[in-house]
Structure formats: structure tokens, C-alpha cells
Amino acid sequence: MKLITAIIKPFKLDDVRKALSDIGVQGITVSEVKGFGRQKGHTELYRGAEYVVDFLPKVKLEIAITDDLTERAIEVIKSSANTGKIGDGKIFIYELQDAIRIRTGETGPEAL
């Protein structure tokens, strides 16, 4: 099992969710986060004053997934979150040691 963490632009969330659903991914955890990568933020003008926005709004997806769906899920996230512009995001893949469904006590892939 793997845990995929993807940081994407907020307006791409619906596209990514639908694409993952289409390949059979059943559960996603979504968090609104802020951060920056190579773009290092930007400056904005508000009521005549210029200020620096260091942290940009992003969406963090966490997906616990079976090994057989991992590569397809990564490809789907890459294609559906891509705008071709800086700040499209990152995908991180971790080994998932175990999962436990609290309600039933199921463990491993059955708990996903």
C-alpha cells in the first residue's frame, strides 16, 4: 500500500477528484494549505499599498491506495493537475505500513 500526498492548485481540485474517481480511487482527504516552491510568492497591490504574498494557497490531497492503483493514480494526478505554469505542485509517494478501519477492525488493503 502507498500513501500519495499531492499539493495542487485549488482550482484543479475538481478535475483531479473526478479523474481519480474514474479510475476507482474511493477515498481522498483534502486540506487547504499555504506554501511556496520555486515561485517564492509574489507582490500584490491593495488599496494603493504594495505587499508581498509569501505563501500561496494550495490544496493538499492525501490518498491511501493499493499498490496496483498507484502508478495510474500518479499519472491521473499529473495530467489533471497540470496547467504548464509554475506552481502546478508536487506529488510525494510514501510506503504505507498498515491501515485500520476503526468501525470494523479491518486491516491492510481491505481497510482502504
List the domain range (segments joined by +) for residue 17.
2-111
Report the amino acid identity of residue 62: E
Q: Per-residue DSSP letters for 5-38?
A: EEEE-GGGHHHHHHHHHHTT----EEEEEEE-ST
Which residues pair with residue 42 across a beta bridge? 53
Cell triple for 53: 504574498
User: What per-residue confidence (pLDDT) applies to 35?
Assistant: 85
How does pLDDT run across 29-52, given as a tens digit for each residue? 999 998 877 766 666 666 777 667
pLDDT digits 0-9 by tens, 52-104: 767 788 999 999 999 999 999 999 999 999 999 888 999 999 999 999 999 99
Of 21, 30, 10, give the one whose Cα is nearest residue 69.
21
Q: Which residues, including other chains, have CB under 8 Å from residue 56's CB and lie 6 or more apart?
A: 34, 35, 36, 39, 41, 42, 87
- The DSSP output letter for 102 is T
Structural domain total, the chain: 1
CA neighbours within 13 Å on the CB side: how many for 100?
A: 2
Helix (H, G, I), strand (E, B) or coil at 43: strand
- CATH, residue 36: 3.30.70.120
Position 43 scores a pLDDT of 65
